Chains A and B, each alone.
Chain A
Amino acid sequence: DTEVTQTPKHLVMGMTNKKSLKCEQHMGHRAMYWYKQKAKKPPELMFVYSYEKLSINESVPSRFSPECPNSSLLNLHLHALQPEDSALYLCASSQASGLGKLFFGSGTQLSVL
């Protein structure tokens, strides 16, 4: 199984809503990542978890809250988002942080109204 599965595929939420994005991998990878991608732009790193501990937070606003319940799961909790947060949110995993080759999920296309 070489898949990273993300749910939901699409999400529309209001600025007062609370929602969560979910990511799952069963490749035994010990590093998991959240990236954000706006249209016509490259993916931008948000968070890195290494062995279930947050190792990198790229100065992401606190309205985005990551969680890694176990080595296979990664969540991104969303609260009080702004319309400019609308983007494709990509989850990725790798064998360990620092080994470069990331496997990406298909992403969650988020629209904030």
Chain B
Amino acid sequence: DQQVKQNSPSLSVQEGRISILNCDYTNSMFDYFLWYKKYPAEGPTFLISISSIKDKNEDGRFTVFLNKSAKHLSLHIVPSQPGDSAVYFCAASEGDNQGGKLIFGQGTELSVKP
């Protein structure tokens, strides 16, 4: 049973436009959500996070939105740059209840074309 789902395996966007990556979850006990960016043969790099007490968190070009009632979060990148091309993983945790266990989605491969 996949608790964190990224239904789009890939996304292609033109440079300068907005990239929107989506993530759905099923476990209502999740209280902390993160986005990681990953290049091939490297470890994931933390991008941005959001606590369940918020519905938006912004950091430069990256904004994460959380809709708890829909159990949905999204990552907006604007403007998109070719260097943003990577695999983006959504992840969720129940905080200390589960000892820090992060559950990852399947990932969305973003390609930003010049």
Contact = CB atoms under 8 A, between A and B. Distances in A.
Interface residues of B, number: 24
Given A104-B44, A104-B45, A105-B43, A45 B96 contact: no
Interface stretch (A59-67, A72-80, A88-96): A88-96
Nearest to A107: B43
B46 A103 contact: yes
B95 A101 contact: no
A48 B104 CA distance: 16
A111 interface: no
Given A42-B106, A42-B107, A97 B43 contact: no
A40 B89 CA distance: 11
B43 A106 contact: yes
A98 B32 CA distance: 10
Nearest to B109: A40
B80 interface: no
A109 interface: yes
Q: What are the 5 A-B residue pairs with the smallest beta carbon separation, nearest first?
A: A98-B96, A104-B43, A97-B100, A42-B104, A100-B32
Interface of B: 32, 34, 36, 41-46, 49, 89, 93, 95-102, 104-107
21 contacts: A4-B43, A6-B43, A31-B100, A42-B104, A42-B107, A48-B99, A50-B100, A55-B99, A56-B98, A88-B41, A97-B99, A97-B100, A98-B93, A98-B95, A99-B100, A101-B46, A102-B100, A104-B45, A106-B41, A107-B41, A109-B41
